[in-house]
């Protein structure tokens, strides 16, 4: 993996060093995990904003609800409500 240099403040470096000592993880691993968590947080913030905008548009929201109704019939895929399956994906024989 390529190695690049990123400047951070002294306080951030000290916090990073303390976390590394406490967890036994490398500072590089901690930074990579923090960046990934931040990326995911941003993704869901954008997702939630787009969903809120969709709900505010009555025509688009109605279209969404209609499409959901079309997909509802696929949820059980014809399974009976009392059907039981084993953990390995087989239906036990009744009888």
Q: Which H or E run contains 84?
A: none
- Domain ranges for the chain, please list them: 26-72
How many other β-carbons are positioned within 10 Å of the β-carbon of residue 38? 10
What are 61-84's pLDDT values in tens digits?
999 999 998 887 776 666 666 777
Mapped onto helix, strand or coil, the DSSP state of residue 63 is: helix
Task: Tell me what the mean pLDDT of segment 52-67 comes to.
Answer: 96
| Tokens at 44, concatenated | 């869901």
Please give the C-alpha separations between residue 21 and each of 30, 37, 80, in angstroms, as whole numbers.
Answer: 11, 20, 54
pLDDT above 90 covers a percentage of the chain that reads 66
pLDDT for res 81: 67
Query: Please, which pLDDT band fits residue 48 given cuts at 50, 70 and 90?
Result: very high
Predicted confidence at residue 94, as pLDDT, reads 59
Pairwise CA distance, residues 25 & 75, whole Å? 43
């Amino acid at each position: 993996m390529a190695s690049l240099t990123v400047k951070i403040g002294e306080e951030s470096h000290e916090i990073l060093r303390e976390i590394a000592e406490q967890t036994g993880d490398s500072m590089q691993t901690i930074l990579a995990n923090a960046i990934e968590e931040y990326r995911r947080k941003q993704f869901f913030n954008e997702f939630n904003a787009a969903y809120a905008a969709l709900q505010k548009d009555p025509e688009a929201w109605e279209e969404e609800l209609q499409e959901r109704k079309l997909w509802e019939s696929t949820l059980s895929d014809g399974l009976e409500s009392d059907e039981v399956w084993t953990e390995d994906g087989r239906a036990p024989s009744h009888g």
